[in-house]
Amino acid sequence: MEIKIEKAKVLKEKPDFSKLGFGKYFTDHMFLMDYYDGKWQNARIVPFGYIPIHPASTVLHYGAEIFEGMKAYKTEDGYQMFRPYENAKRFNDSAERLCLPQVPEEDFVQAIIELINVDYSWIPTASGTSLYIRPFMYGNDEALGVHAVHNATFAVILSPVGNYYSSGLAPVKIAIESEDVRAVRGGTGYAKCGGNYAASLRAGKRAEEKGISQVLWLDGVERKYIEEVGAMNVMFKIDGTIVTPKLTGSVLPGITRKSCIDILRDWGYNVEERLLSVDELLSSAENGKLDEAWGTGTAAVVSPIGLLTYKGKDHIISNNTIGELTQKLYNELTGIQWGRIPDTRNWILKVKVK
C-alpha cells in the first residue's frame, strides 16, 4: 500500500508526559483512507484535524462505525506493539457484522506503523505510559436509507496515555446490572462498534452515582448469565479453576482475554469458557470458593474486582485486596508488553525507528 505523507507545518506543544490521563491529547498527524467504487483509495497521513462529513452520512443516522484499541510501547531503538494482527482480524470481523468494507490485515498494520513512525516522538517513556492507537472506520454514504455501506473512511489517530493505575493497582467495586443489557446473541455484542458502548452508558451512570466503578452485565435473554464487566471481559477463580464467560456472540472476543487464557493454561490452570450464572457466582462468593475476580482489556490490562453488589447485598472478594494470581497475571502481561520479560509466544511486533 502506497501512503502519501503530508507533514504538519506547525507542530503541537507536547503535554507533560507525567500527567497524561487517558485520551486527552492527540499527536500531530492522522491516517485516512477512503473506500469508494469498490476499493480502498487515497491512503494518506495528514495533519491531525477535523474531518468534514456530510449531514446525511451513514454513520450519523445508522451508527455504521467500528473501532479498535491498541498500544505502542517505547523501546531503545523504536517501539513494539502487542498482537496487532489480532486487532486487525477482529476489526474485519466487526466490519463484516456492520456491512462495512474489509481492510487487508497487512494494510491495517502498515497504516499504524507508518503513522507512529511519523509521530514517534510522541511515545511517552515514563513507567506505565504508552501510545494509545485508535483505528476506526465509519460509513459515509451521502444519502438517507438503511442499506449496506458503499462508501467508508478508515482512520487511525494516536494519543499518549498515562499509567492506568497511577495510584496503584487497586480493586474496584462492581454492581451486577439487573435492568439494562449491553447486547444479545445474534446482535452486535461480539463487534467492537460504538452502539454497544452507547447502550452501556445509562447503567454505568447509575452505578457511578452510587460510588460504584462499573457494572457486570447479564445476558439479554434470560438475564442470568454473566457476560462482561463494563467495557472489559471478566474472569473468576472459583475453587482453583478459572471461569470466564464463553463467546456466544454477545461477548467481545478480547485480545487480552485470549492472552490471559493462553498464559493461565501454560501455568497449569484449568480454564473453563462456559456459561456462568449469577446464582452460581454469588453462591461461590458466599461459600468461600470465589477466590479472585478481575476484568481484562487493553486500557487496564488486568483490573482486580474487590466487591460485587447485587440487589442490595455486597459480596467481598479476596478481602477486597488484589489476589495473588491477579497480580501475577498483570505482571506477566505488562512485562511482555513493555519488554521487561522475554516474549516466548511471538506476540510482540517490534519496529525499529532510524
Write the pLDDT tens digit of every residue in 32-49. 999 999 999 999 999 999
Three cell numbers, residue 324: 495473588
Between CA 182 and CA 245 the distance in angstroms is: 14
Cα torsion through 219, 221, 224, 227, rounded to 10: -10
CATH architecture of 4-161: 2-Layer Sandwich (3.30)
**C-alpha angle 261-264-175 in degrees, rounded to nearest 5:** 65
Amino acid at the residue 301: V
Estimate to the nearest angstrom the gap between the alpha carbon of 262 and the chain centroid: 18
> Which residues, in sequence order, are CB contacts of 39 under 8 Å at separation 6+?
none
Question: What is the residue-wise DSSP string for 303-337?
Answer: EEEEEEEETTEEEESGGGS--HHHHHHHHHHHHHH
Alpha carbons within 13 A on the beta-carbon side of 249: 7
Nearest to 261 by CA among 278, 246, 276: 246
DSSP 346: S
pLDDT at 168: 61
Q: What 3-state DSSP class applies to 196?
A: helix
pLDDT at 347: 98
CATH class entry, domain 172-337: alpha beta
Contact 102, 95 (CB under 8 A): yes
2 burial via Cβ count (<10 Å: 0-12, 13-18, 19+): exposed
Q: What sign does the dihedral 10-16-18-20 (CA atoms) show?
A: negative
> Which residues, in sequence order, are CB contacts of 337 under 8 Å at separation 6+?
71, 73, 80, 82, 130, 301, 348
pLDDT at 127: 83
Nearest to 69 by CA among 91, 40, 50, 51: 91
pTM for the model? 0.95
Quick check: 184 pLDDT over 70? yes
What confidence tier does 298 reach under pLDDT thresholds 50, 70, 90?
Answer: very high
Contact 72, 131 (CB under 8 A): yes
DSSP 120: G
Strand 271-274 relative to strand 290-297, pairing: unpaired
As a whole number, the mean pLDDT across the chain is 95
Exposed e or buried b for every residue in 326-348, given b needs 16+ CB within 10 A? bbebbebbbebbbbeeeeeeebb
Quick check: 69 pLDDT over 90? yes
Which single residue is written with the C-alpha cell 462492581?
Answer: 174
Question: What is the residue-wise DSSP string for 214-280?
Answer: EEEEEPTTTS-BEEEETTBEEEEEETTEEEEE---SSS---HHHHHHHHHHHHTT--EEEE--BHHH
Amino acid at the residue 9: K
326-350 residue pLDDT tens: 999 999 999 999 999 999 999 999 9
Three cell numbers, residue 57: 452520512
99 burial via Cβ count (<10 Å: 0-12, 13-18, 19+): middle
Quick check: 120 pLDDT over 80? yes
231-254 residue pLDDT tens: 899 999 999 999 999 999 999 999
- Domain coordinates in residue numbering, the chain: 4-161, 172-337
How many H-runs (helices) and E-runs (strands) does the chain carry? Answer: 8, 18
